[in-house]
């Protein structure tokens, strides 16, 4: 029998390596609280990032608008935009108060002048998202903000930019921080039930 040298045996080292690999696999699979659905933890410096709103174009279309040159917001928001709301946010438009779980999407495209007195939707510029979570975003009126560049699925806003979004939307405090209004056409055929 060999003398005990105080060092762990190869078997003990192998078991520890397997346990570490298993724990790493659980973390990579999103098994730890706060994990990103893609399997990575959120950045420690910015806990306010939001996921991309998959399937938003099938939600309720609230309105479209065109911001032309000459408007104060043209540099950042100029073009043709469409606003979509999930089912929870749609109830918020009806009641004037948006419940936690409300998601609004502002889908912005370049406006393409066809030269024949018509304007078409051009390439996408970016997608902006607002998510209502009163506890998580208490400091910003209960809303979290994100922006996704065209073709990207990673929120590109930095904390200072989120604060700017919140400050601008605070001007709409009487409307629960939401600029857009929805006017339901009661004569229109009811929309089919939607799934978030």
46-81 tens-digit pLDDT: 568 899 999 999 999 999 999 999 999 999 999 999
Span 130-156, average pLDDT: 96
Angle at 82 between CA 81 and CA 84, to 5 degrees: 145
pLDDT score recorded for residue 147: 97
- For residue 188 the two structure tokens come to 């229109």
* pLDDT band at 16; cut points 50, 70, 90: very low
**Cβ atoms < 10 Å from Cβ of 144:** 21
Distance CA 31, CA 95 (A): 37
Does the pLDDT at position 31 exceed 90? Answer: no
pLDDT at residue 120 is higher than 90: yes
SS3 category, 16: helix
Using a pLDDT cut of 70, give the percent of the chain over it. Answer: 70
Half-sphere exposure of 90 (CA within 13 A, CB side): 17
* Residue 196 clears pLDDT 60, i.e. is over it: no
Residues 6 or more apart whose Cβ sits within 8 Å of residue 21: none
The pLDDT assigned to 114 comes to: 92
Please state, in angstroms and rounded to a whole number, the distance separating the CA atoms of residues 43 and 45.
5
Q: Provide the residue count of the chain.
A: 196
Q: Quick one: pLDDT at residue 163?
A: 93
Q: What pLDDT does 84 receive?
A: 98
**172: Cα within 13 Å, side-chain hemisphere:** 16
Confidence tier at 23 by pLDDT (50, 70, 90): very low
pLDDT of residue 183: 82
Q: For position 62, what pLDDT does the model report?
A: 96
């Amino acid at each position: 029998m060999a003398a005990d040298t105080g060092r762990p045996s190869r078997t003990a080292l192998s078991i520890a390596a397997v346990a570490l690999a298993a724990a790493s696999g659980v973390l990579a699979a999103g098994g730890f609280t706060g994990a990103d659905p893609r399997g990575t933890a959120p950045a420690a410096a910015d806990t306010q990032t939001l996921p991309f709103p998959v399937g938003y174009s099938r939600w309720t279309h609230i309105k479209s608008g065109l911001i032309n040159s000459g408007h104060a917001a043209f540099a950042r928001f100029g073009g043709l935009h469409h606003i979509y709301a999930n089912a929870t946010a749609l109830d918020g438009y009806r009641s004037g108060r948006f419940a936690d779980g409300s998601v609004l999407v502002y889908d912005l495209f370049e406006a393409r002048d066809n030269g024949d007195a018509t304007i078409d939707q051009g390439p996408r510029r970016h997608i902006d998202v607002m998510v209502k979570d009163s506890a998580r975003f208490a400091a910003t009126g209960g809303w979290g903000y994100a922006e996704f560049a065209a073709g990207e699925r990673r929120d590109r806003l930095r904390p200072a930019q989120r604060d700017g979004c919140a400050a601008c939307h605070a001007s709409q405090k009487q409307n629960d921080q939401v600029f857009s209004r929805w006017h339901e056409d009661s004569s229109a055929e009811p929309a089919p039930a939607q799934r978030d």
